[in-house]
Amino acid sequence: MDNIYYLGPDGSNSHNAMLKFMDLNITEIKNKIPQKSIKSTLEALEKDENSVAVLPIENSIEGIVRETIDNILKLKDKDIKIQGELTIPIKHILLSTGTDRTKIKKIISHPQALSQCSEFLYKNYRHAELKEVSSTSYAAEKVSKENDDTLAAIANEACAQLFNLNVLANDINDEKDNKTRFYILSRHSLITKANGKTAIILSTKNKPGALCDVLKIFAQYDINLTYIDSRPSKKCLGEYMFFMELDCLENDIKVKNALDKLNEYVNFIRVLGSFFIYN
Amino acid sequence: MDNIYYLGPDGSNSHNAMLKFMDLNITEIKNKIPQKSIKSTLEALEKDENSVAVLPIENSIEGIVRETIDNILKLKDKDIKIQGELTIPIKHILLSTGTDRTKIKKIISHPQALSQCSEFLYKNYRHAELKEVSSTSYAAEKVSKENDDTLAAIANEACAQLFNLNVLANDINDEKDNKTRFYILSRHSLITKANGKTAIILSTKNKPGALCDVLKIFAQYDINLTYIDSRPSKKCLGEYMFFMELDCLENDIKVKNALDKLNEYVNFIRVLGSFFIYN
């Protein structure tokens, strides 16, 4: 494989997920290429036959990453499939160029990171100024450049190393079980293990109980849904598509049978990928 | 009623929804008070016994507004309920201090508005610089202040009037059926009409087919689900709550029976409101 694309900049959680994937994956990949957005990561993958992309799909606090689903649906090349998933822990830490945590007067980070550490901030830095910036790695870079020991960033361990910053406080998330799940996308299959999932998107017929009929079919074939989410059809308010993950592979006979049966009940169905879990 | 709180600034879509609600509502409300965020709008409502709040819940292109659901769930005063809903069309227009649309070199707006007009922008302003700002009304205000006829904002009709700007192009959304639905929240019931909905949130027991069991109960009592969405439990990845809207009122005997029956199948259930539709 030639290239791997991910949501940059370096030090981002997607960058960490990409590094974990490179550790676990056996195929050699030559270049690591950061991208500016989820959209541009998938566009790069689409233009490059022999490549892989790593994108966040779900965080345990914030929920599904809609931009990833919506942009996967826009892919013109239907040979690009979800080929794997992996999960990394999200640990926020407080970083500064100084070492005295009582000196801090201003803290910068991505709005989600600030919000996920609000109890810590309220308890320890009630009077500090909080400022939102576009990413946690940008916050760490800014703190490193400004070299002002009253300024701190909330970011991750990778950023501490990358920007040579001191850790003033570790593991400052309010919720300790903060994790993000990533999809690995490619035209080529990557690993084969026993433990697999299938991701699909479908739109039900517009009649009462239509979603219930769909779920009954999965129950009937003993297929467990591990995720369900509604996305707007983008045609009119109140018309939805459903994104679902099933706990088995597409080539499992029960999935084949359920998908056949489903055709009677849905307007549209598409398998986005059948994939294994790197963990 | 004393005060109505909404997501500002003036000229925002929430401001428009608030004005529509004031037109339709028969109870007198003394003061219109804009707020900086969804969170602070609900905090203001919680501190003010005799008040109403207007918040966006769903857009036909972007989907549900998670921040609204998550912050409603955080309300400590359980007497605050969803008391009504209303829907307004979202029409993006191109605004400038000048009148010559061929002069425009830079276009500013909220990222969602820029993305929702991307076909128009690609066709007509492929070489213009696009810049993201925090809201469409802030974009319009900035264009009005800078008084530079090469600069334009994507905003709405209300902003054109509020900031005295010229309309260079009308109805520039890629998807013509762009609408946003709003919730009206209060401790006090507001209108009583025949056409109602009930919003609930529940967590299912962690076993295969649990969601299917819940949906079956609604089908059995002939209750139509108009919306379903999963939200993370925020405890661990893979544990969810389901936000649902039913097409009838809580005091309908079939809803009472279904909710009684549901108690056997769920860990937790809460009625967020049973309300009427202003339209």
A109 phi and psi angles, rounded to 5 deg? -175, 180
* A61 Cβ under 8 Å from any chain B Cβ: yes
pLDDT tens sequence across A54-78: 999 998 888 888 889 889 988 999 8
CB contact under 8 A, A231 and B63: yes
CB contact under 8 A, B232 and A63: yes
Residue A104's pLDDT is: 97
The domain A196-278 having CATH identifier 3.30.420.40: the answer here is no
pLDDT tens sequence across B214-229: 998 998 898 988 888 8
Please work out, in degrees rounded to the nearest 5, the angle formed at the alpha carbon of residue A245 by the alpha carbons of A242 and A247. 150
Best to test chain A binding among B229, B231, B242 (most A CBs inside 10 Å): B229
List all residues of chain A from 107 to 146 with a beta carbon under 8 Å from chain B.
none
Terminal Cα distance for chain B, rounded: 21
What is the helix (H) or strand (E) element at residue A183, kind and residue range? Answer: strand A179-186
CA distance A173 to chain B (A): 12
Q: Which residue has the higher pLDDT, A61 or B255?
A: B255
Task: Spell out the domain ranges in chain A.
Answer: 3-89+178-186, 93-169, 196-278
A144-158, A225-239, B39-53, B89-103: least confident range:
A225-239
CB contact under 8 A, A238 and B226: yes
pLDDT tens sequence across B170-214: 999 988 889 999 999 999 988 666 678 999 999 988 777 788 889
What percent of chain A lies above the pLDDT cut of 70?
A: 98
Q: Which residues of B touch A177 (CB under 8 A)?
A: 235-237
* A207 Cβ under 8 Å from any chain B Cβ: no
Buried b (16+ CB within 10 A) or exposed e, B120-132: bbeebbeeeebee
* B230 Cβ under 8 Å from any chain A Cβ: yes
CA distance A238 to chain B (A): 7
SS (H, E, C) chain B: CCEEEEECCCCCHHHHHHHHHHHHCCCCCCEEEEECCHHHHHHHHHHCCCEEEEEEEEECCCEECHHHHHHHHCCCCCCCEEEEEEEEECCCEEEECCCCHHHCCEEEECHHHHHHCHHHHHHHCCCCEEEECCCHHHHHHHHHHHCCCCEEEEECHHHHHHCCCEEEECCCCCCCCCEEEEEEEECCCCCCCCCEEEEEEEEECCCCCHHHHHHHHHHHCCCCEEEEEEEECCCCCCCEEEEEEECCCCCCHHHHHHHHHHCCCEEEEEEEEEEEEEC
DSSP reduced 3-state for A181: strand
Half-sphere exposure of B142 (CA within 13 A, CB side): 20
CB contact under 8 A, B232 and A179: no
CB contact under 8 A, B236 and A177: yes
pLDDT tens sequence across B95-117: 999 999 999 999 999 888 998 89
Comparing CB atoms, the residue among B60, B181, B228 nearest residue A230 is B228
pTM above 0.90, yes or no: no
Q: Do domains B3-89+178-186 and B93-169 have the same CATH topology?
A: yes
Looking at the DSSP assignment, which residues form a beta bridge with residue A14? none
Length of chain A: 279
DSSP reduced 3-state for A47: helix
Residue B183's pLDDT is: 94
Give the residue-averaged pLDDT of A16-30: 88
Q: Which residues of A touch B66 (CB under 8 A)?
A: 62-63
Say yes or no to pLDDT of B51 above 90.
yes
pLDDT tens sequence across A255-276: 999 999 999 889 989 999 988 8
**Fold of the domain spanning A93-169:** D-Maltodextrin-Binding Protein; domain 2 (3.40.190)
pLDDT band, very low/low/confident/very high, at A207 (cuts 50, 70, 90): confident
Residue B194's pLDDT is: 61
As a whole number of angstroms, the distance between CA A255 and CA A141 comes to 47
* A194 Cβ under 8 Å from any chain B Cβ: no
* A230 Cβ under 8 Å from any chain B Cβ: yes
Query: In the predicted model, what is the mean pLDDT of chain B?
Result: 90
CATH annotation of A3-89+178-186: 3.40.190.10
Residue B32's pLDDT is: 95
If you measure CA to CA, which chain A residue comes closest to B234? A61
- Do the beta carbons of residue B82 and residue B243 sit within 8 Å? no
